[in-house]
Amino acid sequence: MEISHQTWLKSNVGADLTDAEARELFMISARERFTRGDKLFDEGGEPNALFLLAEGEIEILKRLPDGANHSLAVHGTGAVVGEMSLLTRERRSASAVVLSPAATVLRVTWKDFEELLKREPTVAYKLMYALARVLAGRLKAINIRIGDMASRTVDHNPHEQIEEFQAFKKRLFSDWSF
């Protein structure tokens, strides 16, 4: 697979980018290759970059209090990961580990993004807006589901509601595709 500025256009944040804007993002992106088991970033790590998965598959893992890792999501080609820490400037809330035999990412560091913001603010704002849309979509789906469960009347069997909530909780912690 050829990795070029088209990779940005085909990503889950590339819908509103022009060809020239995708080229700008590609120019500040560092191409990195990983193999199965490699970490793109670790939970608790510094918020220093976001990653566009150009090819391959990664898993997002959350460390549980007992030390075990819980799978939150699996993302494939075209997904952007690591954006939450970059936007909030807080330490990483989860880890990203390569699942496929090989993966190639385009890394955008916070420093490069800040420089892009000064030099080409439209491109930077479009990327931030696209990232916000992805996060808002996930949050909206979660809110709808929680609202649905909370609005049930007392006529419903509380055991069914508890089971439904537990199923939702399990999905929430195993599937970020909301």
Q: What is the pLDDT of residue 178?
A: 45
CATH class, domain 6-138, is mainly beta
Sketch the domain layout of the chain as residue ranges.
Answer: 6-138
Q: Output DSSP code: residue 73.
A: E
Per-residue pLDDT of the chain (178 residues; tens, 9 = 90+): 789 999 999 998 998 999 999 999 999 999 999 999 999 999 999 999 999 999 999 999 999 888 899 888 899 999 999 988 777 888 998 999 999 999 999 999 999 999 999 999 999 999 999 998 888 877 787 788 777 767 765 556 666 767 776 776 666 655 555 4
How many Å apart are CA 77 and CA 104, to the nearest integer? 9
How many Å apart are CA 141 and CA 147, to the nearest integer? 10
How many Å apart are CA 168 and CA 142, to the nearest integer? 9
